[in-house]
Amino acid sequence: MPPNKLNDLDSKTWLKFQKSWFIHNPPPRRKGVLVHPAKFPETMAQEFIEFFTKRGETVLDPMAGTGSALVASLRCGRNSCGIELNPKYAEIARQIILEERKSLGDSINNLTSEIINGDASLVATYKLPTIDYVLTSPPYWDMLHARGAATQKKRRSAAELDVFYSDDPNDLGNVHDYDAFVEKLTAIYAGLKPLLREKAYLTIIVKNVKKGGKIYPLAWDLGRALGKVYTLKDEKIWCQDNQSLAPYGLGSAWVSNTFHHYCLQFRNEG
């Protein structure tokens, strides 16, 4: 195997990650992060971080939520930065990261893990270090506002759980015009370019959206739009096979149970 410039993995682990789809069923969430209505698992984030970086490099999540990417970065020896608009989630993330640092002990004393309570569209003002990798998942448009979702119904019955991210007008989850949402989201990710080292990768975990009886191809539209800024290199399909099937359209129309996400891989070609 030639010298490995990308990561610290052996050839067998490298090859296994190159499979274009994978099944990952998130473990149960801890109580502290259950309040967040959409969270990707640290266990999955760690696999991506270990593939696209070397130890000691720096990972950014510009929409950090409760800090999954930063926790995963600590566990595999990477520095990390996160930007989170909602002050409640930013504080939860800080507490979780602090607990993680305590549990990992002295082995991570040389690593930084910073949560900024701010707007990702203003990333240039936060004086971040050079970034080696971006791992993030944006709001899936305004789908959390859809009252028909079964998971949302369950969350509404529990007063302490959020059903959408915030009431902030700068929150992309509150942009109800689809084209405007894609444009704003693309602009945020394009704005990261000056921070990224040459050849750095961006992994964006996203899903196509069903609304009003039609599908909005968010993953594909984002790939096309952001592909004008970075090189769209590939995709991995994240599948979940532990969710219950619902009888959508039974007896009258085709409506799938959608249990997959797109993990889009972009690269900053300079």
State the Cα–Cα distance between residues 30 and 40, nearest whole angstrom. Answer: 13
Give the domains, in start order, of the chain with CATH numbers.
Answer: 11-267 (3.40.50.150)
Give the pLDDT band (50/70/90) at residue 211: confident
Q: Helix 68-75 and helix 42-52: axis angle, to 10°? A: 60
Which tops the pLDDT comparison, 142 or 130? 130
Instruction: Work out the number of other CB atoms within 10 angstroms of the CB of residue 125.
Output: 10
Interval 172-194 mean pLDDT: 93
**Of 29-43, 75-89, 121-135, minimum mean pLDDT range:** 29-43
What is the C-alpha to C-alpha distance for residues 133 and 182, in angstroms, rounded to an integer?
Answer: 22
82 by DSSP, 3-state: which?
Answer: strand
Q: Residue 2: its pLDDT value, please?
A: 78
H/E element, 219: helix 218-226
Q: What is the pLDDT of residue 139?
A: 87
Please write the tens of the pLDDT for every residue from 151-169.
545 544 444 554 444 566 7
CA–CA separation, 248 vs 172, rounded Å? 28
Least confidently predicted of 20-34, 179-193, 238-252:
20-34
| pLDDT for residue 46 is more than 90 | yes
pLDDT at site 37: 46
Model pLDDT for residues 4-16, shown as the tens digit of each residue: 999 999 999 999 9
Q: Torsions phi, psi of 245, nearest 5?
A: -80, 140
Mean pLDDT for 133-153 is: 72
CA distance 42 to 156: 25
Segment (H or E) for 186: helix 178-190
pTM (2 d.p.):
0.88
Residue for token digits 């039974």? 250
